[in-house]
Chains A and B, each alone.
Chain A
């Protein structure tokens, strides 16, 4: 708008005086045209450098048979993607990822909402409880994973020791596919449940009190209030929580990487807990096959967009 105005003014000037606009004026013209771009530039430059460029370059690399350090990578078109579709290890990793994701995200969101409802009530020393649920989030992820790895140790682990006193197990948390998924999901839940609970809690406290009062007048009990008022009002927050935990859950890497006692990238002796990102890491930095790893990365990217979009749609539909 400003630019338009200046232009008109200028044209007038040019018509009457036929002289060059004064210096001050040229500057302000430049200012009005360029500075808005300068103001927004930091975001776009950064996003371009660390977001768009790597994304596009990965797509480019994925079309080559590109080994790290190879002198001239060979262009092979979509061959990497074709291999990927037929790669049993990839599908295995994808199933593992989805399994760990479901085992972690579903209980996590449910527990977070329940926890938030409890924390929203009248508690003694409320702030202490509220901060308390965030404590696991403060601990370092790697340290946490190492400790959980010890707890879930097959022969000398605490979990098995407790289970055997109850007459269950021992379960081989490393060898058993489902067992290893449970172990890894429990690490994720431990870390993220409190964090999500606090986000849900904040949204819960923002719900206007008079809605509850009106419901109580109408004779609704606590459960009815929760399902008819709290949950629907939480919808935007729940969408956020579910979408972020979807993205996080599908990218899970540190936990399975550190859970392998020998420190390998295979995700167990038979890849029983190798996730897609771990497979990506193994392909890129152990087998140094960057082309194939890039194809994996892009495929994962598309899968995440798809699943996150689906969750978004589902949450919007389900919670009314």
Chain B
């Protein structure tokens, strides 16, 4: 037994090495037995493409589509980066989530320029400008076709607003959500009378939304880390940590079980709300809280985006041209509307945002509000895409979010800032 334990130690110790060597053997052939071209499409969660694949196959008898579907985004992207490293094994069309885009862009050389190999009618103006810009490299290559987006609005608890003496009507609350200053000021007003209910769920959620509105983020366009020299970051930090010190945060880390419980118990009154968050709130707050949550088409300092994906064609693909054709077809407005109807993924195409099927979509849990039109309006408020450096996602998730959490757990804001700067420098190295 002990030697065997040792072997497993070794195997575990060596897992990093093993992934480099042991992963992925490229498919030697991409023709099926009856001479069709086989295209593989790797997605995660729900893209709503199942019926579309059938439609495409019917229109293109020479193509057979195989879908590789992962349940979650994280393993999908882990697999993606491992196989990029291995040099083979990727699907012809690989989906990429916005949070991982900066990492993909830093390896843009391993993906096809869709402007070059894609059909000529799939030009960048098909998408909202910021959506296409985010997937365009500095030298103008388009790496991914946009699928869906997560435009930000504000969700809030009507009943708690009323109790604290704030306006609760979707029109009247807009003034509270005009700027971040007014948002935090309203928070002060709210917690003075709320009897222990917090204003927002956690500081990282607010900080990230604020951060993404700036033109320059953690990195400048030459990939230099500017965490210290960018005054906007420190200003956001100060505003958020001050609000935390006053007691505006419920200190519930997003996606934790306690966060879920917080929705059920009504521990906080507002939530930064991308389109897909409505479903999360409905699930977590449950039927007993129906009618208490509302959403309004306002967001402090303009708009924002959280989430959404792209379809890419890795250079590994042996049928790059046909794969790009398929990806272009899938991300055309007509198809994305169908995906929206199937699974509720909010389309990123300019024309799709004007489609009646989208504009008329209502949400019963949020008081039959015209959610489709509301988020379409919010999508257009998003300013330019922020330039993301190669380690941007990591700095957000593993440096700034934990540092903000540590301040919520009692560390001083100054000390937490120093840690964040030091860790950001380490991560960017």
Contact = CB atoms under 8 A, between A and B. Distances in A.
Nearest to B419: A270
A69 B256 contact: no
A58 interface: yes
Interface stretch (B114-122, B147-155, B330-338, B396-404): B396-404
Contacts of A263: 255-256
Nearest to A262: B253
Contacts of A52: 10
Given A172-B409, A265-B398, A58 B14 contact: yes
Interface stretch (A106-114, A163-171, A181-189, A279-287): A279-287
Interface of B is mostly: helix
Contact of B5 (A54, A149, A247): A247
30 contacts: A51-B10, A54-B13, A57-B14, A58-B14, A61-B16, A68-B85, A146-B257, A149-B257, A150-B257, A153-B261, A155-B261, A156-B258, A244-B2, A244-B5, A251-B12, A261-B253, A261-B257, A261-B258, A262-B254, A262-B405, A263-B256, A264-B401, A265-B398, A269-B405, A270-B402, A282-B398, A286-B394, A294-B17, A297-B13, A304-B9
Interface string B233-264: 00000000000000000011111111101100
A137 interface: no
A69 B107 contact: yes
Given A153-B258, A240-B2, A261-B257, A54 B82 contact: no
Contacts of B17: 54, 57-58, 60-61, 290, 294
A297 B16 contact: yes
Given A247-B5, A264-B398, A285-B78, A58 B11 contact: no
B16 A290 contact: yes
Nearest to A61: B17
Contacts of B252: 155
A65 B265 CA distance: 49
A300 interface: yes
B1 A57 contact: no
Given A240-B1, A247-B5, A264 B259 contact: no
Contacts of A265: 398
Interface residues of A, number: 55
A279 to B, nearest CB: 12
Interface in B104-136: 107, 110
B7 interface: yes
A174 B252 CA distance: 11
B410 interface: yes
Contact of A175 (B16, B78, B410): B410
Interface string A265-301: 1101110000001001010111110100110011011
Nearest to B103: A288
Nearest to A66: B20
A55 B81 contact: no
B284 interface: no
A261 B6 CA distance: 31
B85 A69 contact: yes
B30 interface: no
Interface in B1-51: 1-2, 5-7, 9-21
Contact of B13 (A55, A146, A150): A55
B279 to A, nearest CB: 19
Interface of B: 1-2, 5-7, 9-21, 78, 81-82, 84-85, 107, 110, 251-259, 261-262, 265, 267, 394, 397-398, 401-403, 405-406, 409-411, 419, 427
A244 B8 CA distance: 12
Most chain A CB inside 10 Å of its own CB: which residue of B5, B12, B17, B397: B17
Contacts of A301: 9-10, 13
Interface of A: 47, 50-52, 54-55, 57-58, 60-61, 68-70, 146, 149-150, 153-157, 172, 174-175, 240, 243-244, 247-248, 251, 261-266, 268-270, 277, 280, 282, 284-288, 290, 293-294, 297-298, 300-301, 304
Contacts of B2: 240, 243-244
Contacts of A264: 397-398, 401-402
Contacts of B257: 146, 149-150, 153, 261
Given A55-B13, A156-B265, A262-B254, 12 more contacts: A69-B107, A70-B85, A174-B409, A175-B409, A247-B5, A268-B402, A269-B402, A269-B405, A269-B406, A284-B19, A293-B16, A294-B17
B20 A154 contact: no
B13 A298 contact: yes
A61 B13 CA distance: 12
Nearest to A46: B7
A51 B259 contact: no
A153 B256 CA distance: 10
Nearest to A312: B2
Contact of A290 (B11, B20, B410, B419): B20
B246 to A, nearest CB: 18
Contacts of B406: 175, 269-270
Contacts of B409: 172, 174-175, 269
A172 to B, nearest CB: 6
Contacts of B405: 262, 269
A174 B5 CA distance: 31
A82 B415 CA distance: 27
A251 B8 CA distance: 11
A153 B90 CA distance: 40
A154 B409 CA distance: 10
B16 A47 contact: no
